[in-house]
Structure 1
């Protein structure tokens, strides 16, 4: 899929027009005297054109710096490149990009933009300023972890079932060239981690121990057994036998002579030097300037200025509230025993679990039909793209989350994917299925992300960028919406809704506990086991996830509570005039937003409806 790239001269011209106070360039109709209204309109049009040109030019340039992101948004020009991530030159270029565009956008008069474009303008400035602050923290010293890794990304792309195309001989050679860049990246990652060792900015020991077997799973003696050989088994029928043979040889040679040595070197470095230098502390408080760094990550992920202590207290209060509701379910189903015994019953009784991975995936596929039958009653706009249910791939299932969502291809060539982790069936109870599907698929992430990608008339960054608090807050709000949709008539399914909400509430406590209050991994695990029916394997993976990506887990509850607050505000202000479908459109049809920007938008909408 090709996208038009704006030239620098077009952008400069647009900026010059927006900054010019002479409005005579827009000629009035013959015989009509120019008016102040006409002049103001002309200024507004030029300001909007200038802003859209600038925002899209930034987007184009940022994709050129991050070619894998370009592939995921459907831009073909960079499919052969990996990018120079982590290099000094790349970091400097990223800084200059953010700094330069921040200066340029501030030359545009915000007051001359339409209401929607003002929201977009505010988001653009917010993003550039936040990125510049993020640069002051040494995240480059921790480029890999057991939860998020370019190794996983490349394995997914190389599987042939993700965004990387494998339709032509050129596509196959593009992938080999990109893989060559990937092996160079692994060298840069080792160099940055060595710098981190010297600066005492390293991963917790437990996470390093998790990474080593993940890499071991990629190491093979026979290239044909490598995940990165997968495209060879997916040749299009149009390829000649000679082309197939040549590509087969090239892939085997690259895997054996370039990729395996690079992965082996990384594995050896992690198992020896890095493991020995890893830290004993499980939270960011154990890093130099770690508490300040963590507060920044909390701000970035929640898109708020909430102090981490306040977030911790919010989590404790939410956990207490949800525990009371869970106990009400226990009494409703007439379970004999206390709440902890009820948790044990729900997490161990065979009636609550499938026997095979295939049954679990089919169960979610059937549930998709049930939700689709009622969801249109609550939305006036729904995504054009569909989604499908898949099991998490074997190479990452041991450390992957219980479920996740991948966006559909922008050109419609690939549906959204609702991944369900079938590694431990005891961690996937039947009573949790409705709420998990609502969150990850429809009307949760699938609606929000697919609708965002399908927007027109907005800058590209609004279609493809995002804010964790908005997106995860919407996913958790979608779980709440399931009550009104009539999907929780079974008390056990409603317990599943409470269980997932409890997970998000516990995250506020545990994430802040680990990173700001000195909690250990074991203390965090025990807290979650004491307050939920989650399987211990699932709890362990969750806690280690929070250790790996600090602050991300705070976004869910903070975002959901803000959306619910804004909905209640609109309902109270508008009374009978409140339209839930239109409220959902207001939330979804500008793309992902920081919480303050969303609040401004909803307040303006409320005022317009009175």
Structure 2
């Protein structure tokens, strides 16, 4: 069955999500307060408009933010920090981050929100929301769990180091920048071990099964000669413009870097997990068993859903949705004339050879054909569409065993690289043909590709808006895109419609299982059994899903909560506007301000409804 990756901050790809947390120290200024460029004198502010003051503030914020987050800077196309990794686990950094957010929040409050135009009032609300959220988040000891099997800086660095991601390898300087960044990564490994030791002392550690999943990821980098390592890839792809002398020098440097420093550091990290951390990991599976864990989980649930819903309410919404979707699934069973009960129908769909490809490339090719089919109908539902294209690629071999069934990586900001719809071809029995339409709608167009690419291409909005994100908005939009496929006529085949229901069931079960694990004391095995009982998902997918929820509590709640809010707002707009309702215009409103918290999005749609009435 299908799974999607979402970033912590959005649902960008894992790499970008990790980049948002990989924070470095700016070279030229201490970020404890906004820089002098934004701290205009009282006399200057008196002659500036509120709009000018706000724009200057958030423009400088974004520059300072990228200085604190060098890998994120690389992903958004700012090359100034390509040689830096970041030391975001240090005490110094943690204080800088606090002062940074506190200082910018104080500066924001000096600006009269009501004096801003409507679009910047929305931006003001986003900026304030983010700074407050960051200040609350730092009260919980997330630094003690710096990596897991799902979000791993190791994975990020491997992807960057292949030369096929955001890290450029076009010039000799680019190659040297990567060497420097790798040195920072090696330092980070030592700091991560220190923070995990702090976690052991504080009883803030990963569940044992998740540590067991990390070990094979690190094993994949062990026992290799430098030239056999994936980190050697850029050497094999050096530009023809390099001289023979430059190529020889870089080859020697990279062999030394990989063989003498990087691979030994990864080996040491693997040894630490196996010999130190694994024996101290915990036998329980949910956040409830951590110090202050239930409050921490409620914070994470609210952060990911951008709501204030109590986790008990979220659990009940999930139970209700599971019941509704099961009824719809049974109607499909009856429509196709299947003689057994629903559980037998699930078993048939999950096991019969006719529902699966036998060759990996056939699966990828099938998604490319779907891309063409979906593209034909998109103009009927959207005025605004991304300029960037996307491609379909299989998940890389080094991470396919633990990666999600599918994910999306945003295009390069400068248009030099398309978006990537990753499909996991490792287990073809986990990728049924009947699930392809809904998965393509969610991950690619008009799902994540539209939402994320359009956001990056926006003009006339502050930079932080183009590159920040909220999981509930982005994953809610992805699930809404699946719903939209019904109106597009893409689910006339009952089996493809079942695939849509099956994916929706996954998101409904997440509300039940995530809250069950982290607030109600469910075990991993209990969560796995619940998902087996209520879906046709492959067991390998179910296990990976449950372990994902264990690793990143609350994130999986965002899909269904976000979708339900978008559908609610659309129904409200249709009821209020009647014949004046324009689906294209509604989608424009959702997509053309960047990623929004649910409350801010609701305010925007209500203002739009009022303007349409007028």
Cα distance in structure 1, aligned partners of 2:43 and 2:565 = 39
1:258 counterpart = 2:285: no
Summarize the Cα distance change of 1:15–1:287 in structure 2 as closer, same or farther, 3 Å threshold: farther
Q: 2:439 aligns with which of 433, 436, 441?
A: 436
Write the mapping of 1:343-492 to structure 2, written as runs, cut at 5 A.
Answer: 343-492=346-495
Give the equivalent residue in structure 1 for 2:592: 589
Summarize the Cα distance change of 1:431–1:348 in structure 2 as closer, same or farther, 3 Å threshold: same
How big is the shift at 1:302? 0.2
1:13 counterpart = 2:16: no
Q: 2:320 aligns with which of 302, 317, 321?
A: 317
Cα distance in structure 1, aligned partners of 2:567 and 2:409 = 25
Write the mapping of 1:37-436 to structure 2, written as runs, cut at 5 A.
Answer: 46-436=49-439
Over residues 426-447 of structure 1, what are the superposed CA-to-partner deviations in whole Å (9 max), with x where a residue is unaligned?
0000000000000000000000
SS of residue paired to 1:12: coil
Give the equivalent residue in structure 1 for 2:20: none
Give the equivalent residue in structure 2 for 1:498: 501
> Contact (CA 8 Å) 2:409, 2:420: kept in 1 or not?
yes
Over residues 155-197 of structure 1, what are the superposed CA-to-partner deviations in whole Å (9 max), with x where a residue is unaligned?
0000111000000011011001000000000000000000000
Give the equivalent residue in structure 2 for 1:548: 551
Cα distance in structure 1, aligned partners of 2:571 and 2:56 = 37
SS of residue paired to 2:39: helix
Summarize the Cα distance change of 1:293–1:168 in structure 2 as closer, same or farther, 3 Å threshold: same
SS of residue paired to 1:11: coil
Summarize the Cα distance change of 1:562–1:585 in structure 2 as closer, same or farther, 3 Å threshold: same
Cα distance in structure 2, aligned partners of 1:558 and 1:602 = 17
Q: 1:572 aligns with which of 550, 555, 575?
A: 575
Q: Which runs of 5 or more structure 1 residues have no equivalent in the other structure?
A: 26-42
Over residues 266-317 of structure 1, what are the superposed CA-to-partner deviations in whole Å (9 max), with x where a residue is unaligned?
1111101100100111000110100000000000000000000000000000
Cα distance in structure 1, aligned partners of 2:242 and 2:355 = 48
Instruction: Answer 1 or 2: higher relative contact order, Cα 8 Å, separation at least 6.
Output: 2
Cα distance in structure 2, aligned partners of 1:354 and 1:339 = 24
* Residue correspondences, number: 582
Summarize the Cα distance change of 1:484–1:278 in structure 2 as closer, same or farther, 3 Å threshold: same
> Contact (CA 8 Å) 1:15, 1:50: kept in 2 or not?
no
Cα distance in structure 1, aligned partners of 2:290 and 2:107 = 36
SS of residue paired to 1:404: strand
Cα distance in structure 2, aligned partners of 1:14 and 1:481 = 51
> Contact (CA 8 Å) 2:37, 2:60: kept in 1 or not?
no
Over residues 241-282 of structure 1, what are the superposed CA-to-partner deviations in whole Å (9 max), with x where a residue is unaligned?
111111111111111110111111111111011001001110
SS of residue paired to 2:411: coil
Cα distance in structure 2, aligned partners of 1:220 and 1:119 = 53
Over residues 540-563 of structure 1, what are the superposed CA-to-partner deviations in whole Å (9 max), with x where a residue is unaligned?
000000000000000000000000
Give the equivalent residue in structure 2 for 1:29: none
> Contact (CA 8 Å) 1:14, 1:53: kept in 2 or not?
no
Over residues 33-59 of structure 1, what are the superposed CA-to-partner deviations in whole Å (9 max), with x where a residue is unaligned?
xxxxxxxxxx7xx11111111112111
> Contact (CA 8 Å) 1:157, 1:163: kept in 2 or not?
yes
> Contact (CA 8 Å) 1:15, 1:108: kept in 2 or not?
no
SS of residue paired to 1:419: strand
Q: 1:562 aligns with which of 561, 565, 572?
A: 565
Give the equivalent residue in structure 1 for 2:515: 512
Larger gyration radius, structure 1 or structure 2:
1
How big is the shift at 1:112? 0.3
Cα distance in structure 2, aligned partners of 1:177 and 1:54 = 31
Cα distance in structure 1, aligned partners of 2:54 and 2:90 = 31
Query: Over the residues paired in the alignment, what is the CA RMSD in angstroms?
Result: 1.2
Over residues 339-398 of structure 1, what are the superposed CA-to-partner deviations in whole Å (9 max), with x where a residue is unaligned?
000000000011110111110001001100000011111000000000000000011111
> Contact (CA 8 Å) 2:51, 2:120: kept in 1 or not?
yes
SS of residue paired to 1:170: helix
How big is the shift at 1:13? 2.6
